[in-house]
Structure 1
Amino acid sequence: MDRNCFVCNSRFPRNSSGRPLECPAQRLFFSIRTMKTIPHNARICFNCRNVYREWKSKNEAFRLIMEHFEEKSGSRERTLSHNSESMDSIIEISTTSSSTSSCHANKPSVEEPAVEIRFDRVAASHHQCCICRAVDPNSTSVISDEDRDLIFMRQHIFVPKGARCCAKHLENKRLSYESFKNLIIYDNELISFTSDEIKSLLLKYQSALESEKQIHFEQSSSLTDTDYYNLIGLTKPQFDKLISFISDSNIIHQSANRSVRTAIGLLLCKLRLGLSNHVLSSLFQMNNKKVVSRAIDSARKALMANFVPKNVGFHHIDRDTIIKNHTTTIAKELIGGGRDVAIVVADGTYLYVQKSRNNIFQRRSFSIHKHRSLLKPMTIVSTTGYIISVLGPFLSDSTNNDANILKHVFFNNMEDVLNWFEEEDKLVVDRGFRDCLNMMNRLGIEVAMPSFLNGKKQFDVGDANRSRLVTKVRWIVESVNGRLKQFKFFNQTIQNSLIPHLKDYLLITCAIINYFKEALIKSKPEDRELAASMLALVNKRNEVQDMILEKNLLSKTVWKKIDSSNYLNFPMLSEEELREITFGVFQIKRARSYAEEHILTTDLSSTVINYELQTCTKIPNLIKVRMQSVHSRRKSYESTIHHSKDEIKGWYCTCPDGAKVVGCCSHIASVIWYLAYERFQSEERPKPSGTYISLVDDSIVLSDFYDSSEADDSDDDTNDNEH
């Protein structure tokens, strides 16, 4: 007798001779699994028997089929186990798979054992949709055999041959994902299965299991919209739309491992998740990283040829379109003076790269400012966040600062930029572009830039107010760069081997953002009134600052410390009223951080908070709070606020930006936010970030043992000297 297991060929233990394969269902299962004809005296080990049991427990529908099959075939079991020719006719493996439609017969053959299993089924009508039950014989299509098999295997719902559905439920002649979820059960009835039908279904299960991919962009039902967005940053309809741009392109050659959808999906996964080609080959079940690399390269070329030129670059959109469709009311009023001129915002961003073996490239790509190797793209956007163009990337040494990069763009007329701009157009930039002001003025382009301190400790009121008008518009380019870094490929260290294609990846990502993402900001009806309010304050003096100087309120003797819980004369404000003071949301978002540091707790709803402030003994309703600088432990600023019982009259802070009256600094905003809003909130809103510092070791904290040792040593030395 053979001492080895027929299935796994493992040796039986000495005290065991294995289990005989007499059950027809088991013989059928292992015959399909091993692709062998099972002899009548075959035996299996305990582990293989458990594999069969586990498979039955995980496949409820086929467990019922197998049990019925065993019951109906009980009378023939002895004959089947001793008649190999009869057994071979039942379990002969067919290498050609057939659809479920061919094995679902109306009446089983008398010569074959058959079982009846109760299943849910949909309607089978030539005039009615089995999904939505609509009656329209002219617009229905027969459900494909592949979809019938998929529905049966995944949802255990039987779809009769000839069942029809509306054309709206199909995508590329296959059922959509939503249609799979919306099937309407028509009846629950007994359905007959012959042994051949069961064998065919088992083969289909095996084939589906072996061919199942972890990430599959080919079948519309394999991934949900959420899966699409998490993997590639686009929803399924958006991905389908992107594919339509290159569906007629012959750049991507179809093969077993490379279709248009798979190639584009690979590229977007790499950009969105920042994964290496090794990891992508595992996720997509491809042979090696070279297959992935070739697919990504073909997808890059196809998108650069058919999609990018239509969606990014100065050539793809004209100046008038930017003025009409991509300029906010706030920018038009604050920067453009209400005129129809092009207003664009420019700024550089950073893409970190590896250190290079080449000394010249390493030296010229090393940023003294960031102390890292990086490259700098120049992003030029509209005031709504629409990306007009992204130029570069450029090197990052001292000769490639923002001003020199912009000079290079205009001197070399990159993308015909000189013909795009017209005189009196506006360019909004930060202080890093100061060296290109003269060039831009000679070209007739007016530059809006924040003011400089020029050796002073604080901006005067006028400069601070005008700078606030610029920052109210300029923030949009920072948000665009942040949106770009949501594609993790650009937010991590990029391999130097990818630098030849880095510009293409930037353009592809920006084109996708332009086409599929909504504008970061849209004009609202109240924006014109908001802009008018800001402009009305530009030339106004800071009355609280003047009051402090005139009445000599810098002396400590005129201030008295109190607890905020005893100070009830401060007005109560809503979040909307707070935004009217700050003219934005950034300062309000920062308010909690300053307040938590001031009271040394993250639980701002506690009843035992000691929010320390000072009141003026000379002038009523004038308070002062000392706020710690967020950047330096050695610096703190005095934030002074004048108020009545119903409103905030004015403010002044000693920080560099604290004299402005067009909005306020973050220190002033934090004091007003806490005293006028947060302390009246009953709902607890703890922030977990406040506990992080206690979870990390601090080398400054010394143990008691160390301190006492130092003290003892010092005392001993002193005593020795005295003796």
Structure 2
Amino acid sequence: MPGSGQKHYGCFNCPNIVRQKDRHTISSRNRAFIAKLTGRTPSNSDFLCNKCRCMCQHHIKRKTSMPSRVQQVPAQSTEAPQFSPPSIPLPFPSTSRGHASCCMCQRQGPKLVVVPVGVRHHIFITKEVIIPAGARCCPNHLQQNIDDLNPLSTLFNKTGITELVKFLRNEVLKKERTRLDFDSRGNLASTDYQSLLGIPKTAFEDLLKYVEGKVKVTPVRTVRTTLAIFLMKLRGGESNRILSTLFNISKSSVHRGVKSIRTVLMNGGFVAENLGFGHVTREQIIQEHTRPLAQKLF
């Protein structure tokens, strides 16, 4: 007879045929999720299989346990950062900081350059004059022509004093690590220069004029130290490892220092003025580099 056969009960969500013991009525918590998932509204006689019921419970549990993520945008302060005004006097004179005129001789531009950090520190140590960061000067002052200094009174703030103390601390630590010190002119005698570099101290100072202001000063080596490394390598042919041990700097710094000195001497006029036939005239060769008999013949 029609309708007397076995009925098949399917899950409301999936097409699986569900046995009676695995049929689960749709609770009020799962009803909204199932309606949203299937697009159909379940009735009271509909049911879910065990797999779909666990899926609904897992989704609802995860949704309720996750905190609401509200993107909090930090309030941007419209106020400019406050710096303490320079109001603390120090017993060290300082120069001006303007960009339009030289901080040393007060000459108006153009062709002014920013005073490097190494030069500012050197002037402070030797002359006890503070040059503010960003100050400009004439290019010839980088050759240590600093006799035209016209210092003013010094007013510092908290930031400036902190930077000054850090600089002095770094200088002390650098001196403790230094093994061969060519920065101080009184540490090594002229005979020491002759033994280590192959030239006397006066010749070293003359050669320094060709590279001063043209070689980058780093926290671990100055221009004098870089030139000493270059001359010591020329004299004895020591490896970069030995030079790094003697001067207590890295091998890469030794390599860069030697390369920079070589480039400056080649392109800066020293080689052209002292080597080759172009640096001397025929008359100078006859008068200074020939014997008396050859001078009479020529």
Taking structure 2 as the reference length, the TM-score comes to: 0.40
Q: Between the two structures, name the one with larger relative contact order (CA 8 Å, sep ≥ 6).
A: 2
Greater fraction strand: 1
Whose Rg is larger? 2
Taking structure 1 as the reference length, the TM-score comes to: 0.19
